[in-house]
Structure 1
Amino acid sequence: MIEYPILEKDATIGITAPSSGVDVELHDLVKQACRRMESNGFRIQCGETVWTQDKAKSAPAKKRAIEINGMLQDESIELIIPPWGGELLIEILEEIDFEKIKPKWILGYSDLSVLLLAITLKTGMATAHGTNLIDLRGEYSDDTTAMWKSVLSTKSGDSILQNSSANYQKEWQHDNPTPCIFHLTEQTDWKTVTNKNEKIQGRLLGGCIDAIRHLIGTPFGDVKAFSKQFIDDEPVIWYFENCELPTTDLRRSIVQMKLTGWFENCSGIMFGRSAANQPVGNYMIEDVYQELADELRVPIIYDIDCGHVPPQLTFINGAYADVEVKDGTGTVLQSFK
């Protein structure tokens, strides 16, 4: 059985940087986000790693691990959010005491998805792939991003529906923030390989493919054991987002996942919008999706609201999802069962 934490209105939120911390010149962004969370009734507990960054990480692995282990084991903390992602979270996995984690949400994306997926696979506790702290500093959140609170407040046994966004952000303009942080100028269009409407059902697993692919073959990426122990071998819907990989590297990663058995009992795969996916020669991203559909014989949905091209839905690793794509729009109904 999957264990679902629940977020209460007056919850304490732990802010820690298990991957990248924040350079001094950007500290005000964190402070703005913390004030915004406090204005919404949350209590904030901020760790030391948030305020430092050196050699592509917030702090040495031991220090990062000690800090996040403390928050993971603290019963008074109901939610952990990092300031943002980074590069080297994988260094701390062997230091995480998975057996002592208390029920709580961990929310984020990018490099944090390494920790999210590892925790769900090892413990059966649901984790949340969605917005990070920095993107919650605005006067308000767009409708898609704002759903994170509703999703994390859903009780075990209940369901929550999310809709695809109306518009997405084509490019970041960090020096020109809007009241909701993002510049949502482009019309959202969820696509399918078949160019037809699709419906898929199954347990959600996924994250940033650049990062989670490195769990393959480790004790933290045992999908078969998770499927048997926690979801009774129910079908799995994978969701991926690509931060930086060209088409060939993405293809290699997907093939490795297939060869290691990650796609056994897979009912469908979803890919987020991406500013990467650069073609190699005439090998296009659509070719990657088509080959995957041909090999697995399951629906492939792409350009969904997930990842580094915001806004994004809040996907719960371990939740049972009913996904439907119809005429370019999408719905995701997640059931906490």
Structure 2
Amino acid sequence: MIRYPVLEEGAAIGVTAPSSGVNKELHDLLRLAGKRMEQMGFRLLYGQAVWTQMKAKSAPAQKRAAELNEWMQNDPIRLIFPPWGGELIIEILEHIDFENVKPKWILGYSDISVLLLAITLKTGIATAHGTNLIDLRGEYSDPTTAMWLQVLQTQAGESITQHSSSNYQKEWNYANPSPCVFHLTERTYWKVTGRTEVHLRGRLLGGCIDVIRHLIGTPFGNLRHFQNHFINHEPILWYLENCELSATDLRRSLVQMKLAGWFDNCAGVMFGRSAANQPVDGYTAEDVYDELANELQVPIVYDIDCGHVPPQITFINGACAEVEVKDGKGIVRQTFKP
């Protein structure tokens, strides 16, 4: 059975950096994001690693893992909220004390999704894929991003519904900061291969495919164990997003997932918008989606609100989800079923 943490009002939030920390010149952004959380009534605790960054990581792997282990076992902390992603979170997995992890939320995306997926697969504790802390520094959040709080306050057995965004951000414009952080200028349109509408149902799992693919074949990516011990072989509904992969590298990664059995008993696959997906010799991401749909014989949805092209829906690894897509609009209803 899946165990769901709950984020109570006024709870303590632990800010640590299991992947990348924050360079000194950006500390003000982190403090501002923390101030916004405090204005919402939360109490923030900062780890040492969050303030440092050197050689593509916040600190050596064992130091990052020790701080995370301490906070995963610290009762007052109800949410662990990294500032953002990074590159090398996979280094800490062998040092994490999974046996003594307590149910508490971890929220993030990008490289953080390696940790999220590993914890859910090994322990059956739900984890949250969504906004990072730095992007909550604005005076307010757009409606899609702001749903992170309601989702994390949902009780076990209850349901929460989210809707596709009205607009998304095409590119970052740091020279023109806005009260909402994101510049949402482009019309959102969810697409389905070979059709215009679809209804999906399954247990959610996913993350940034660039990095979660490296869990395949390791003790931290044992999908079969998760299916047998935590969800009673219910179908899996995958959500994936591509940060930097070309179309051919995306294809290789998906074939590897298929050959490793990660798409066995799959209800469907959803792909986030991507600024990567560069064609190779005329071979496009849409070609990849079509081929995957034909091979798996399941619906493929793409350009959803997930990943590095904000805003994004908060997806809960382990939750039961019903997803409806029609005329470019999406509805995601997650039920926190044990």
In the superposition, the TM-score normalised over structure 1's length comes to 0.99
CA distance in 2, matches of 1:189, 1:26: 33
Q: Deviations over 1:15-46 (max 9, x none)?
A: 00000001111010000000110011000000
Question: Is 1:68 aligned with 2:77?
Answer: no
CA distance in 2, matches of 1:242, 1:71: 30
Which one-letter code corresponds to 2:325 in the other structure? V
Structure 1 position 194, deviation (Å): 1.4
Which one-letter code corresponds to 2:71 in the other structure? M
Pairing of 1:253-268 with structure 2 (within 5 A): 253-268=253-268
The aligned counterpart of 1:284 is 284
The aligned counterpart of 1:238 is 238
Structure 1 position 122, deviation (Å): 0.1
Which one-letter code corresponds to 1:59 in the other structure? A
Structure 1 position 173, deviation (Å): 1.3
Pairing of 1:1-337 with structure 2 (within 5 A): 1-337=1-337
Q: Deviations over 1:126-164 (max 9, x none)?
A: 000000000000001100000000000000000000000
Which one-letter code corresponds to 2:61 in the other structure? A
CA distance in 1, matches of 2:85, 2:13: 17
Which one-letter code corresponds to 2:213 in the other structure? R
CA distance in 1, matches of 2:74, 2:49: 17
CA distance in 2, matches of 1:32, 1:215: 34
Which one-letter code corresponds to 1:91 in the other structure? E
CA distance in 1, matches of 2:174, 2:65: 30
Q: Which moved more, 1:166-175 or 1:271-280?
A: 166-175
Q: Deviations over 1:166-216 (max 9, x none)?
A: 000000112322111000000000000013200010000000000100000
Give structure 2 stretches of 5+ with no counterpart. Answer: none
CA distance in 1, matches of 2:22, 2:68: 16
CA distance in 2, matches of 1:149, 1:95: 30
**Secondary structure at the residue paired with 1:162?**
strand
**Percentage identity across paired residues of the two chains:** 70
Which one-letter code corresponds to 2:29 in the other structure? L
Q: Which moved more, 1:170-179 or 1:244-253?
A: 170-179
CA distance in 2, matches of 1:229, 1:176: 49
CA distance in 1, matches of 2:289, 2:51: 40
CA distance in 2, matches of 1:267, 1:25: 45
CA distance in 2, matches of 1:79, 1:140: 20
CA distance in 2, matches of 1:196, 1:328: 8
Query: How many residue pairs end up in the alignment?
Result: 337
CA distance in 2, matches of 1:206, 1:313: 13
Give structure 1 stretches of 5+ with no counterpart. Answer: none
Q: Deviations over 1:226-279 (max 9, x none)?
A: 011000000000000000000000000000000000000001000000000000
Which one-letter code corresponds to 1:217 in the other structure? G
CA distance in 1, matches of 2:68, 2:44: 15
In the superposition, the TM-score normalised over structure 2's length comes to 0.99
CA distance in 2, matches of 1:9, 1:101: 22
CA distance in 2, matches of 1:330, 1:96: 36
CA distance in 2, matches of 1:51, 1:323: 39
CA distance in 2, matches of 1:232, 1:195: 31
Q: Deviations over 1:53-82 (max 9, x none)?
A: 000000010110111111111011000010
Query: What root-mean-square deviation, in Å, do the aligned CA atoms of Structure 1 and Structure 2 show?
Result: 0.5
**Secondary structure at the residue paired with 1:184?**
coil
**Secondary structure at the residue paired with 1:330?**
strand
Which one-letter code corresponds to 1:72 in the other structure? M
